[in-house]
């Protein structure tokens, strides 16, 4: 793709939709393309102790690694069971969603793999998509059928569950519980900084929505539309910063809609980062969690910001 990093400051790819966004924009920072060559990039996660980023290339059945010190990109895991979303638990272990395995797994310190969830009430999961870990150790994940609809992002299977659900796995007992079955294909999810709200993308509503639920222990309450998207707007994965802003992968609606859209804690749009391709998911990383990594369709991008990612993202 023909794309060139801006040599001028401020970078015109970073747009304020509201004056409040200016406090988060560093005028002497520009969007960088770190690598290109994937078929569908997803699920980035920052490993601070290794100074690297992992992200999924789902159709190519691999997880890639970008090294901060050298910029080198290598294969971290292949085959990856068409891994999608990643995060780290509060002990620093990598938690991953697998389309091919139809499961959520954890990579242990010794290199072994622990299956966190692969079924609910005796029925196979669809294809876990994205995952977050709460401070109490519980693991929350979405389970749409995107990985079982064909052979591009997984393997074709008939869904065994009647709904596309959101689940919670208890951090102490490992018991899996259903927390939401009223979402039309749940996708990306993230907690507010104080973990009182769980935001979830409803990816097959027309138009698409970002929902909000109040978190009441191991349950969700008070479903509401937090962000009602315009026709053609496509939110995917996202993360939240320490001020409660949502940094959302965005795109597939035409020119000017590909990139990252930023909403404040009240759900109002305040900023946009233009990319030349759809962005699927993001995470915060770097020494101070102030660098936004953007996993787009074919490429990996990054931008330094004047904010930090909330813990657990």
Q: Show which residues are catalytic.
A: 236
- Establish whether 187 is an annotated binding residue: yes
Conformation bin of residue 76: beta by default, left when phi > 0, alpha when psi is -120 to 50 = alpha
Cβ neighbours of 166 (radius 10 Å): 24
C-alpha count within 13 angstroms, C-beta hemisphere, residue 173:
6
Sequence-distant (≥ 6) Cβ neighbours of residue 9 within 8 angstroms? 27, 28, 29, 30
d(CA 268, CA 275): 21
Binding-site positions for a divalent metal cation read: 42, 187, 236
Mark the binding-site residues for substrate, compressed into ranges.
Answer: 129
Question: Binding site: residue ranges?
Answer: 42, 129, 187, 236
């Amino acid at each position: 793709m023909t794309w060139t990093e801006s040599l001028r400051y401020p970078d015109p790819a970073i747009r304020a939709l509201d004056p409040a966004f200016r406090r988060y924009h560093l005028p002497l920072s520009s969007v960088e393309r770190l690598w290109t060559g994937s078929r569908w990039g997803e699920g980035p996660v920052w490993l601070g102790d290794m100074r690297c980023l992992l992200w999924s290339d789902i159709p190519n059945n691999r997880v890639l690694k970008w090294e901060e010190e050298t910029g080198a990109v290598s294969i971290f895991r292949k085959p990856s069971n068409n891994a999608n979303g990643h995060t780290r638990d509060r002990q620093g272990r990598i938690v991953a969603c697998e389309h091919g395995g139809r499961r959520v797994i954890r990579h242990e310190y010794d290199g072994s793999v622990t299956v966190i969830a692969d079924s609910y009430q005796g029925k196979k999961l669809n294809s876990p998509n994205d995952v977050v870990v709460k401070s109490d150790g519980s693991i929350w994940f979405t389970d749409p059928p995107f990985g079982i609809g064909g052979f591009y992002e997984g393997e074709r299977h008939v869904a065994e569950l009647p709904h596309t659900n959101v689940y919670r796995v208890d951090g102490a007992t490992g018991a899996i519980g259903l927390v939401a079955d009223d979402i039309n294909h749940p996708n990306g999810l993230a907690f507010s900084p104080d973990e009182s709200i769980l935001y979830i993308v409803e990816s097959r509503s027309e138009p698409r929505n970002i929902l909000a639920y109040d978190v009441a222990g191991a349950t969700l309450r008070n479903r509401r539309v937090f962000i009602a998207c315009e026709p053609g707007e496509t939110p995917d994965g996202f993360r939240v910063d320490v001020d409660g802003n949502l940094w959302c992968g965005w795109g597939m609606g035409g020119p000017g809609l590909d990139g990252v859209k930023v909403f404040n804690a009240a759900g109002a749009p305040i900023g946009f980062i233009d990319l030349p391709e759809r962005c699927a998911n993001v995470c915060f990383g770097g020494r101070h969690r102030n660098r936004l990594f953007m996993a787009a369709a074919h490429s990996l991008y990054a931008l330094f910001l004047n904010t930090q990612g909330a813990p657990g993202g």
